[in-house]
Homo-oligomer: A and B are copies of this chain.
Amino acid sequence: MNVEIRLAKEIDMEDVLSLIKELAIFEKEPNAVTLTAKDLIAHAFSNSPLFVCFVAIFQNEIVGMSLGYPRYSTWKGPTMHLEDLIVTKKMRNYGIGKALFSSFIKYSHSQGVKRVEWAVLNWNTDAIKFYEANGATIYNDWQIAQMNEKAMNNFIIKNQ
């Protein structure tokens, strides 16, 4: 199967947004995506890009992507975070996900970081198996905490 993996371009962001939405549906958060393709372009193609994105091309169509950005560990220093990895449904099980994952790991390694990190849903057993088979460690003792905009606003009003 002739699939090309390359860095995303501005013109790809509509297709990347479609994949972000497909992933949000898979993750049972169909209404969570508030960004537009214009936002993605502004965030990734400026002087200080907020993320890096790889796309997989098959027969001139974008069929998958991996997307991430730098983070920081007070234990290890600079790290990278893999935010999204998705292959469109009809193109799964051909190794495209692994190729996109691989591009992101190699890119991270080339940046000299000591760690790549990401989050996976605990019911996404296929993904967990894939990550473990490729040498990742899944941690069961850490939980993710978040404050959204409303929670931040409420907190700030209460703690002026």
- Chain A residues 75 to 89 lying within 8 A of chain B, measured CB to CB, are 75-78, 81, 83-84
Stretch in A4-12, A54-62, A108-116 with 4+ CB within 8 Å of B: A108-116
B73 near A71 with CB under 8 A, answer no
- Chain A residues 108 to 143 lying within 8 A of chain B, measured CB to CB, are 108-109, 114-123, 128, 131, 134-143
Contacts of A146 in B (CB 8 A): 115-118, 136-137, 139
Contacts of A43 in B (CB 8 A): 72, 77-78
A119 near B145 with CB under 8 A, answer yes
- Is there a chain B Cβ closer than 8 Å to A2's Cβ? no
- Is there a chain B Cβ closer than 8 Å to A14's Cβ? no
CA A114 to CA B149, docked complex, whole Å:
5
| Chain B minimum-CB-distance residue to A49 | B72
Smallest beta-carbon distance A104→chain B, Å: 10
A152 near B116 with CB under 8 A, answer yes
Contacts of A108 in B (CB 8 A): 152
Smallest beta-carbon distance A116→chain B, Å: 5
Contacts of A128 in B (CB 8 A): 143, 145
